């Protein structure tokens, strides 16, 4: 069973049963172990097993037959359409299937989340903030959460943020769309560091934006002449760059290189949108963020809570010191109506210090897990891939040591019920065709060694002569 220390016993039994039902052959309903037998096998109480069975029954995955027991039902989600030429659509459809082992999902909080603490806080706050017949509309977000975020980003009197500089949206993509609309960037050009998360790339494309991909060299050195040339001739209006580390590869740029990068950006006077959705997952907590070196009048910070708190905190946020009326206008036009109590609960995680303590533990867990996965990759894939140890986050970025057809590798692994993230997902120009991304936050109760052997075989079978 999954040994996540934040799980209750019935949740671990639920995970065990989910995996058991996923592995059953297709066909008629299959009888599951009795309550008493499963309780004895897993060394838990009968009521714990009953709670787990009840969850699965409510989800429609099993049914109870009086005087007979529980039966696993055929799952319609196993028939999700996965055909087509769009690799991202095939990846997302496959990742939703319960019978797939998702090895490429960047979900750090699967290791350790604050979802339980958040929901407990929300329940307590519901007793203190009774429902009002006419709740106040807060288009910019709850003031308590905006205050907590402003305080968390304030590091000195010169680098000070105020609640009026903070805006809350439904998720990171919703906030990014607000930025693109407010700055009238439709059909313009935007610079992104590559590899770049596919949600950002697809959002930019939906606005007709020409995406200019920029890569630092393998040593993480910034070629200022190359970057200046891109900015000068590309008619670029905005750059989207990471805060402390590249969230896809987990690479941390050296301090002097971040300063050189900021100097070039400041000299050209374009908007800089710093993506800080995973900045808190950098293993070295002393890494100075990029926004400390960017002209504050051209700086915006984009963030979210789902990668640090958990999926029960989906909200995104924006920090900006300039053009306050512009942001007010856009937020009013979009009229986001977000749950105020959930926002207050997130604010209490900040103000109580609970989030900081959680991040310390999460960073340790992620570092341990990615180190273990790296050692296993070296053992099973050592001659087939090259990679560098990440400086943060949950994923490892692998480059094939031989020319392969990575799309065919991806498809071959889908046939084996393994979902990886091929490198082409992280580019719109066809870059990273020889790369793939694996997650250290995958279900560790599975046989990871056998998964890596299957990946190695797929890479060998799809080598290009």
The full length of the chain comes to 465
Mean pLDDT of 299-322: 95
For 43-54, letters b (16+ CB in 10 Å) and e give ebeeebbebbbe
- Please provide residue 400's backbone torsions phi and psi, each rounded to the nearest 5 degrees: -65, 135
Q: How far apart are CA 292 and CA 288, in angstroms?
A: 7
Tracing tokens 């009197």 back to the chain, one arrives at: 157
Q: pLDDT band at 6, cuts 50/70/90?
A: very low
349 within 8 A of 355, measured Cβ to Cβ: yes
Segment 100-114 mean pLDDT: 93
Is it the case that residue 27 has pLDDT exceeding 90? no
d(CA 281, CA 369): 13
DSSP state of 163: G
Q: What's the token pair of residue 83?
A: 């055909």
Q: How far is Cα 361 from Cα 21, in angstroms, rounded to an integer?
A: 32
112-134 tens-digit pLDDT:
999 999 999 999 998 887 665 45
Helix axes 354-381, 448-461, angle to 10 degrees: 50
Separation CA 96–CA 99 (nearest Å): 9
- Kindly state the average pLDDT of the residues 358-376: 97
**Which residues 6+ apart lie within 8 Å of 434 measured at CB?**
399, 400, 403, 404, 406, 423
* The two three-digit tokens of residue 180, written as one number: 């693109």
DSSP assignments along 187-218, one per residue: TSEEEEESS--HHHHHHHHHTTPEEEEE---T
Find tokens 């209490």 and name the residue: 348
* Continuous segment of H or E residues that includes residue 81: none
How far from chain centre, in Å, is Cα 102? 13
Q: Are strands 435-439 and 421-422 parallel, antiparallel or unpaired?
A: antiparallel
Q: How confident is the model at residue 84 (pLDDT cuts 50, 70, 90)?
A: low
Separation of alpha carbons 91 and 3, rounded Å: 27
Tell me which of 132-141, 205-214, 391-400 is least confident: 132-141
Name which of 446, 243, 280 is nearest 361 in CA terms: 280
Contacts of 55 (CB under 8 A, 6+ apart): 10, 14
Give start and end residues of each alpha helix (H) in 313-442: 324-334, 340-351, 354-381, 406-415
Check residue 2 and give its pLDDT: 45
Q: In which band, very low, low, confident or very high, does the pLDDT at 273 lie, cut at 50, 70 and 90?
A: very high
What is the mean predicted confidence (pLDDT) over 266-270?
A: 92
pTM recorded for the entire structure:
0.86
The whole-number pLDDT of residue 416 equals 93
Q: Which tokens sit at 262?
A: 């900021």
pLDDT tens digits, 394-435:
999 999 999 999 999 999 999 999 999 999 999 999 999 999
Asked if 394 contacts 366 with a C-beta cutoff of 8 angstroms, the reply is yes
Domains in the chain, CATH or no CATH each? 9-74 (1.10.10.10), 80-113+361-461 (3.90.1150.10), 116-355 (3.40.640.10)
- pLDDT, residue 56, reads 87
The least confident of 23-32, 243-252, 375-384 is 23-32
Sign of CA dihedral 345, 350, 353, 358: positive
Would you list the DSSP string of 52-112?
A: HHHHHHHTTSEEEETTTEEEEPPPGGGG----SS-HHHHHHHHHT-TTSEE-S---GGGTS
- Reported as a pLDDT band with limits 50, 70 and 90, residue 87 is very high
Q: How much of the chain exceeds pLDDT 90, in percent?
A: 65
- Give the C-alpha separation, 279 to 149, whole Å: 14
| Nearest CA among 182, 236, 186, 245 for reference residue 213 | 236
């Amino acid at each position: 069973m999954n040994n996540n220390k934040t799980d209750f016993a019935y949740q671990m039994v639920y995970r065990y049963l989910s995996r058991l039902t996923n592995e059953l052959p297709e066909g008629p309903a299959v009888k599951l172990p009795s309550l008493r037998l499963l309780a004895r096998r897993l060394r838990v109480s009968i009521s714990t097993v009953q709670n787990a069975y009840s969850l699965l029954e409510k989800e429609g995955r099993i049914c109870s037959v009086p005087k007979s027991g529980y039966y696993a039902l055929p799952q319609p989600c196993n028939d999700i359409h996965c055909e087509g030429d769009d690799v991202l659509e095939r990846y997302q459809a496959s990742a939703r299937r319960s019978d797939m082992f998702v090895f490429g999902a960047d979900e750090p909080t699967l290791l350790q989340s604050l979802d339980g603490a958040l929901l407990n806080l929300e329940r307590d706050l519901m007793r203190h903030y009774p429902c009002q017949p006419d709740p106040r509309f807060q288009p910019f977000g709850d003031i308590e959460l905006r205050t907590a975020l402003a305080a968390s980003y304030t590091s000195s009197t010169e680098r000070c943020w105020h609640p009026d500089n903070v805006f809350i949206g439904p998720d990171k993509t919703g906030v990014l769309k607000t930025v693109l609309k407010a700055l009238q960037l439709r059909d313009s050009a935007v610079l992104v560091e590559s590899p770049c998360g596919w949600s950002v790339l697809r959002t930019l494309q939906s606005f007709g934006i020409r995406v200019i991909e920029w890569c630092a060299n393998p040593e993480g050195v910034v070629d200022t002449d190359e970057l200046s040339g891109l900015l000068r001739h590309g008619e670029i209006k905005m750059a989207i760059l990471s805060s402390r580390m590249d969230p896809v590869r987990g690479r941390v740029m050296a301090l002097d290189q971040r300063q050189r990068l900021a100097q070039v950006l400041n000299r050209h006077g374009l908007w800089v949108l710093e993506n800080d959705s995973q900045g808190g997952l950098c293993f070295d907590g002393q890494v100075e963020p990029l926004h400390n070196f960017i002209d504050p009048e051209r700086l915006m910070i984009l963030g979210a809570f789902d990668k640090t708190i958990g999926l029960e905190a989906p909200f995104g946020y924006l920090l900006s010191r300039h053009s306050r009326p512009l942001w007010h206008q856009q937020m009013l036009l979009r009229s986001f109506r977000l749950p105020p109590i959930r926002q207050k609960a997130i604010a209490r995680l900040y103000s109580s210090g609970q989030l900081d303590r959680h991040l310390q533990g999460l960073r340790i867990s992620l570092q341990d897990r990615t180190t273990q996965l790296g050692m296993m990759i070296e053992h099973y894939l050592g001659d087939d891939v090259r990679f560098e140890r990440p400086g943060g986050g949950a994923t490892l970025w692998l480059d094939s040591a031989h020319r392969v057809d990575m799309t065919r590798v991806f498809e071959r692994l889908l046939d084996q019920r393994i979902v990886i993230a091929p490198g082409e997902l992280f580019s719109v120009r066809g870059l990273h065709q020889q790369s793939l991304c694996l997650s250290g936050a995958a279900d560790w109760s599975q046989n990871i060694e056998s998964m890596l052997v299957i990946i190695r075989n797929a890479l060998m079978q799809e080598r290009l002569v």
